[in-house]
Structure 1
Amino acid sequence: MRYTSPYSTPEHPPLTPEIVDSSTPWSEVLLGEYATIRSDAPQISYKELLCSTFKTSLRRWNRPLWLAVFLLAGIWWSLSGGTYLPNLPASAEMLNPEVKFDGLQFIDATHPYIRYVGRWLSTSDGEHKDGSFPGVYFDFAVNGSATVLLSLHNRELEFQTPAKRPAKPSSTFSFLPLANSSNAAPISLLARVDDDEYIVLPNATSIVTIRRGNLDKTSRHEIRIIAPMMGDNATETLQVEGLWIEEDGQMLPYEGSPDYQNERLMASQDGFQPVSSGSTPKKMLEIVTDSPGSMAGRDRRNNTGTAQAILGGVMGWEYLLGEMFGADHVSIGMDGMCLVRDCIGGRGNPSGLADVFFQSGPAGSEQYAHTWLFQEYTPDVMVMNIGNSDWESFQSHCQEYDKSLWELSVVFEETYISMIKAIRSLAYPKYSSTGMDASRYTYAARNTAAGIPIFIMRPFRGQLEAATHSVVNRLQKEGDKAIFWLDTSGWLNTEVDFEGRAEDQDFFLDEESPSKEWRLTERGNQKVSILLHMHACRFLAAGDVDKCAFLPPEIYQGKAIDHEAIHFDEFLQDEKERKLKKLFWK
C-alpha cells in the first residue's frame, strides 16, 4: 500500500505530498517458524499515518486550490529570498493559533498515572519531564474523554499560541536536577491509541492532537507516545508538560500498578469482565547498542519519505523484542557511538558508550551532565550489541591511532570488561533469584550475588568477534555466572544483492550516513528479534517459563575460539605490515 504524507522536509517545498510505502514488521518472517511460545503479537500496520483532522481537510482541497496555493507559495518564495517555510505540524488543528481549550482539563506531566519508560528527568520547577535517549516513550490510560491533546515544551512556531495551563507553584525540591527551562527543538513522534495503527506526528511542538472528539467515552483507552529520534547529528529531547482531556474524563491506572487490580475488580463488580488477573509489574528489557535497528526506516530501496524513517522507531529489533513479550524496553546508546573513549570519527567523541551508560542522557544533551540514579528501574535482562562503530573507526583511522588493529581490539576488550564490572558494582548490584530449574538451564543457576543476566552479542557482521567472546570468557573465569555470549553467525545473510528485491535482504547500505553504514533491513530486524526471543524467553515471558525452548548450556559457549592463537595471528599480520612499510618507505 502507498500513502501520502502532507508535511514538508528541507528537501521538498512546503505542502509537497510524500509517498510512503507501508509494510508490516511481522509480514515477511513468521514468528511460528522460530519462536518457542506461540505469540499473538499485534500486527504493526500503518493504514493511518496521519492525524485524522489533517487528512480530512486535505480531502476537501481540489486541484485548482492546490494550484493557487503553489502559485502563492512561489510568489512568497521569490519575495522572501528563498527561505524555507517552517515544517508543518501533523495536525491541521495545530495550524490554527486559536486552539480551543474550553471544557478541557490539564493533566500535569508528574501525574502518577503517566508511566514513563526509559531515562527521564524533571526540571527543578516541575514544569516538564525530559527524555533524550532515542526510543523513550510513555504510556497512559483515560476514559470519559473523547479528546486527548499532548502538551509539549518543545519550541513553539511563530504562529502557535501556548496553551494557558493552570498556574503551578514553584517546587521546593532543590535536588531535582534539570535547571534549564529553555525550549527544545521540534521533535517527531509516534502515537498509538489502543490497538490502532501508529500515527506519525512530525515536527511536533506545543499542542499536539492525539484524538479530537472521536474517542469512545465509555471505554478505557490506552495510549503510547514514542520519540524515535532518527536524526543524524542533532541530539533531540522530548519535553512533556502534560495532557489535555475533557473535564469529565479521568486518568486510569496503568497495567502493573498497585491501583490497576482495584480498577479491574471494580469493573467486574459493575458487570464488566476484568482484562487482567493481577497487578504483576511488567518485565523490563534493557539494550545497550551503537547500531540501533530502528534505522531500518532509512532504507531508500524499500521506502521513501521522512514518515517511513520515523516509523523505523517501531521496526528495530530492540522494540520488536520487547513487544513480543509485552515487556517494557529501554535502549541506551547512540547510533555511531564507540564503546571506547576518544574514538576517532565516532559520534559523541571524546565520550564513549561506557561513559554514556551511567548518565541520564546521550552525549551532547543537557541530561548527559547528570548521573543516572538507577533506582528508577531494574531490568530483568540486558542485551549488549556493541562493536560496529569501534571497528569502523579502527579500520578507517588505524594510522591516526598509531596502533595496530590487534592493539585497538585489546583496548576495546578491556573497556568492555570494565563497563560490565561497573554495571555489576554500581548500577545493578543486587538481583533476586527467579527459582529457575538449574538442572535444565545452567545459565539460570544464579543466586542473589550473580547479577542480572547479560547477553553479549557478537556484532551482526562479525566485527570484533574474538574480542566480544574474550570479554565473556574472561568474566566467566573470574566468577561471573550470569554473563553469556551469543554467537550471531548464521543469523543473517551479510551479502547484499543490490539488484535484488529489498525485502529479500537482511542489510542495506545507508548512503545518507556520514560513514556509509551497513544497517539492518526490516526483514533483518525481524529475524534478529525472533532469534533473540528464544534466548530472552525465560527472563521476559510473563507466563509459564517452562514452555520456553530448552537451550543447552553449550549454546552460550559459542564456537571453539582460541584467543591466544587469534591474537598471535593478528600480531604476525601487524609485524608483516610493519616490515613491508619499512622496506618500501624507509
Structure 2
Amino acid sequence: MVYNTPLSTPANTPLRLQLIGFSPPWSDVRLEERGSPIRIVTSEHVPSVTRKTRFRRNHRTIWPAIFLIIGSLWFWAGNQEAQKKVNQKLAPDIEGLQFIDVNHPGIRFVGRWTTTSDGARKEGSFPGVYFDFTFNGTRTVLLSLHNSDPSGNAPAIEPLREAPTLAFLPSTKLSNAEPISLLVRVDDNEYIVLPNATSITAIQNGNLDVHSVHSIRVIAPMVRENTVETLQVKGIYIDEGGQLLQFATSSEPALQDSVSSLEHGRAIGETVVQPPEKMLEIVTDLPGSMAGRDRRRNIGTARGILGGVMGWEYLLGEMFGTDHVMIGMDGMCLIQDCIGGRGSPAGLADVFFQSGPLGTEQYAHPWLFQAYTPDVMVLNIGNSDWESFQVHSDRYNRTAWELSVAFEDTYIALVKAIRTLAYPKYSTTTVDSSRYVYSPPSAAAELPIFVMRPFRGQLEQATHAVVERLRTEGDMSIFWLDTSGWLNTEVDFEGKVEEQDFFLDAKSETKQWRLTERGNQRVAILLHLHVCRYLARDAQKCAFLPPEVYLGKLLDPQIMRFDEYIEDERERRTKKLFWD
C-alpha cells in the first residue's frame, strides 16, 4: 500500500511542529501564595548596620532571580513570535474560497456522528468514522476543523448561520478537541496522511483538475494508544467556482436508466448517482486497526496512522465497496465490572447504545438508531474478557465455569437488545438465503448476526453456546463462525513479523496478542465468504457454503462444556483440600 504525506522526510517520516511553551517559575501560582521575593525592611525598627547587611544579602539574592525572569520572558516571547511566523507560512490561504458547512447534502457522513445543538459541526468519536463528498470546478480543497490549534492562530472564522433548535440534538460543549491524525483518499489514488490536523487543513492546494469530477474520503483512524479522540468537522473550503454534488441513490425512478452503466457512481448534472449502499456493522473489543503497531512501529509516524485502514474490519467493507461502521473499544470487556478491563465498570454492551466511546462527551448521549440500519452485523468479542478471567482469577472469587456463564448471559442479553431496541424493524433486500442456510418458512426475516469465535480460541465454548441457545429460542438469523484454522497462533519471536499472523504488543498497558497486517488480510478474506450474500451487489456470484459452516461444531452442549466442568471440579477439590 502506498502513501504520502505533505510534510515528510525522505524516509517518509512526517515532520511535526512542536510548540515549546516556557513560563516563569511561579507563573501558575499567585505571588501572595508564595510570598514576595523582595522583603522590605523599614528604618524605624532595624539599626542601620543591620539594614545595610540585609540589603546587600538581598541584593546578591534578588538580582540573579530578576535576570533569570527577564531572560525567560525574552526567550518565551521570541519563541512565540518565531512559532507564529512558522504557522503563518504553513497556514493555507482561504482568500477567494467559499465555505461549505457540514449540513450540505453533498457531504455524506458514515458511522456514528453527532450534531452540535447549534448545528455548527458534526463530531465522530468511534475509530474509523469517515465522510465522503464529490465535487467539480475547484483546484483546492481545505478541511475546516474545530480541533484545537496549539498556536491559537485560526486562519478564518466561518460566516454565522441561523442555528437550528432541535431538542434531540446533543448540546455539545464549545471546547476544542485535541489535534487528530487523518487519512484522506482522493479519487482512487494513494492515501494522504495528515498528522495532527487542526483548524484549516489542506487536502489539495491548487493541484486538482477543475474540469473533472473528484471524490474525497476523509477517515479518522484514531489509533493512538490510551487516547480517546474526537473529530470535529465544521465544513470544507473550495474555489468560488466549484460545487459539491449531491448524493442520490439509484433507487430513485428518474435515475434508474442511468445507473445500469455505473459501477462506482458518476455525476449527472449536479447529482452524484451511486448504486444503493449496503452497510456492515462490526462490534469488537480487539480492533484490527492496531495492525500498524508492530515491531517497526512508532505510533506517531505515518505508518502507524495508516494502520487505521489495515484492520480486517475496514478491509472487509472495502472489499465489497460498502459502508462500514465499527464500534471498537480496544481492551474493553463485554461484562460489566470487569477487573483490569478498560473502562470498567462499564462494558462493551453499554457503549454500543451510546453515541460515542467511554471517555467522550458523546457517550452521555444515547445513539438514535434511525441514522442507519446495517445489512449484516459481525460480533468479535471475548478477547478482553478472557484476559481478565485469566489474569485476575484470584480476585473474582468465582470459578471459571461461573465467569464463562456470566459472559455467555451478557452476550445473549446484548443480542436480544440489538433485536428489540436497536433494529427491531429490520427488513433486508438481500437474496433468499435458503440456498445457503436452512431457515423455517415461518421464521421472520431478521438482521443477520455473526458471532465469531475469538481468533485465538478464547471462550470458544461460551460463544458457541450463545448461538445455540438463541437458535433454540427461535432466532434463526444468528450464526456462529468457527475461526479455528483461520490463523497461525504460533509466534516465532525471532522471525519476521510480516510473515506471521500475530504479534505480542508488549508496549500496551497489558500485554496483548494482536493481528499483524497479514493476519488482518486473512481474516478479511475468510469473512468475505460468509457475509458475501448480504453485502455483494450481485449475490449470485457468492460462493456456496453448506449449512454446517454456519451451524458450527454440532456438539452436545454437555460435551462441549465438559472441559470447563473438569476445570471447575479440579478447582473445587483443590480449595477443599487446602482450606477446609
TM class by shorter-chain length? Answer: 0.7 to 0.9
Alpha-carbon offset, residue 415 of structure 1? 0.3
Alignment partner of 1:420 is 2:415: yes
Does the CA-based 8 Å contact 1:433-1:447 persist in structure 2?
A: no
SS at match of 2:561: helix
Q: Deviations over 1:352-382 (max 9, x none)?
A: 1111111111111111111111111000000
Alpha-carbon offset, residue 429 of structure 1? 1.1
Alpha-carbon offset, residue 164 of structure 1? 2.0
Alpha-carbon offset, residue 585 of structure 1? 5.6
RMSD of equivalent CA atoms: 3.4
Cα distance change of structure 1 residues 520 and 154 upon mapping to structure 2, 3 Å threshold: same
Paired residues in the alignment total 517
Residue 12 (structure 1) aligns with: none
Does the CA-based 8 Å contact 1:253-1:260 persist in structure 2?
A: no
Residue 482 (structure 2) aligns with: 487
Alignment partner of 1:134 is 2:130: no
Does the CA-based 8 Å contact 2:246-2:272 persist in structure 1?
A: no
Kindly report which structure 2 residues correspond to 1:529-544, keeping only aligned pairs within 5 A, or say none: 529-542=524-537, 544=538
Kindly report which structure 2 residues correspond to 1:306-455, keeping only aligned pairs within 5 A, or say none: 306-434=301-429, 436-442=431-437, 449-455=444-450
Alpha-carbon offset, residue 338 of structure 1? 0.6
Alignment partner of 1:576 is 2:564: no
> Residue 564 of structure 1: which of 558, 561, 564 is its match?
558
Does the CA-based 8 Å contact 1:187-1:205 persist in structure 2?
A: yes
Deviates more, 1:175-184 or 1:216-225: 175-184
Cα distance change of structure 1 residues 521 and 321 upon mapping to structure 2, 3 Å threshold: same
- Give aligned-pair identity as a percent: 62
> Residue 238 of structure 2: which of 239, 245, 249 is its match?
245
SS at match of 2:558: helix
Does the CA-based 8 Å contact 1:94-1:207 persist in structure 2?
A: no
Residue 554 (structure 1) aligns with: 548
Does the CA-based 8 Å contact 1:96-1:160 persist in structure 2?
A: no
SS at match of 1:538: helix
Alignment partner of 1:143 is 2:130: no
Alpha-carbon offset, residue 264 of structure 1? 10
Kindly report which structure 2 residues correspond to 1:77-88, keeping only aligned pairs within 5 A, or say none: none
> Residue 457 of structure 2: which of 440, 462, 479 is its match?
462
Does the CA-based 8 Å contact 2:267-2:273 persist in structure 1?
A: no
> Residue 198 of structure 1: which of 191, 214, 231 is its match?
191
Cα distance change of structure 1 residues 585 and 301 upon mapping to structure 2, 3 Å threshold: farther
SS at match of 1:137: strand
Does the CA-based 8 Å contact 2:450-2:480 persist in structure 1?
A: yes
Alignment partner of 1:236 is 2:215: no
Counterparts of 1:352 and 1:238 in 2: how far apart (Å)?
23
TM-score for the superposition, normalised by structure 1: 0.81
SS at match of 2:290: helix
Counterparts of 1:197 and 1:80 in 2: how far apart (Å)?
46
Counterparts of 2:443 and 2:197 in 1: how far apart (Å)?
45
Cα distance change of structure 1 residues 541 and 209 upon mapping to structure 2, 3 Å threshold: same
Cα distance change of structure 1 residues 490 and 430 upon mapping to structure 2, 3 Å threshold: same
Counterparts of 1:344 and 1:181 in 2: how far apart (Å)?
35
Does the CA-based 8 Å contact 2:283-2:379 persist in structure 1?
A: yes
What letter matches 1:509 in structure 2?
L
Counterparts of 2:354 and 2:390 in 1: how far apart (Å)?
28
Alpha-carbon offset, residue 546 of structure 1? 1.2
Cα distance change of structure 1 residues 417 and 566 upon mapping to structure 2, 3 Å threshold: same
Does the CA-based 8 Å contact 1:106-1:165 persist in structure 2?
A: yes
What letter matches 1:451 in structure 2?
E
Deviates more, 1:158-167 or 1:177-186: 158-167
Cα distance change of structure 1 residues 367 and 105 upon mapping to structure 2, 3 Å threshold: same
Does the CA-based 8 Å contact 1:93-1:99 persist in structure 2?
A: no
SS at match of 1:375: helix
What letter matches 2:341 in structure 1?
G
Higher relative contact order (CA 8 A, sep 6+): 1
Counterparts of 2:431 and 2:439 in 1: how far apart (Å)?
6
SS at match of 1:203: strand
SS at match of 1:539: helix
Q: Deviations over 1:414-471 (max 9, x none)?
A: 0000110010011111232546345522257777833110000000000000000000
Cα distance change of structure 1 residues 277 and 368 upon mapping to structure 2, 3 Å threshold: closer
Runs of 5+ unmatched residues, structure 2: 24-67
Cα distance change of structure 1 residues 173 and 131 upon mapping to structure 2, 3 Å threshold: same
Largest Rg, 1 or 2: 2
What letter matches 1:552 in structure 2?
P
Does the CA-based 8 Å contact 1:337-1:352 persist in structure 2?
A: yes
Cα distance change of structure 1 residues 505 and 131 upon mapping to structure 2, 3 Å threshold: same
Counterparts of 1:519 and 1:357 in 2: how far apart (Å)?
22
Alignment partner of 1:182 is 2:178: no
Cα distance change of structure 1 residues 562 and 93 upon mapping to structure 2, 3 Å threshold: farther
> Residue 299 of structure 1: which of 291, 294, 297 is its match?
294
Counterparts of 1:179 and 1:209 in 2: how far apart (Å)?
26
What letter matches 1:288 in structure 2?
V
Q: Deviations over 1:45-101 (max 9, x none)?
A: 22x2x12xx45xx79xxxxxx9xx99x99x99x987999x99xx9xx9965376422
Cα distance change of structure 1 residues 504 and 302 upon mapping to structure 2, 3 Å threshold: farther
> Residue 207 of structure 1: which of 178, 192, 200 is its match?
200
> Residue 284 of structure 1: which of 258, 279, 285 is its match?
279
Does the CA-based 8 Å contact 2:213-2:267 persist in structure 1?
A: no
Alpha-carbon offset, residue 329 of structure 1? 0.3
Does the CA-based 8 Å contact 2:250-2:273 persist in structure 1?
A: no
Alpha-carbon offset, residue 404 of structure 1? 1.1
Alpha-carbon offset, residue 173 of structure 1? 2.1
Residue 124 (structure 1) aligns with: 117
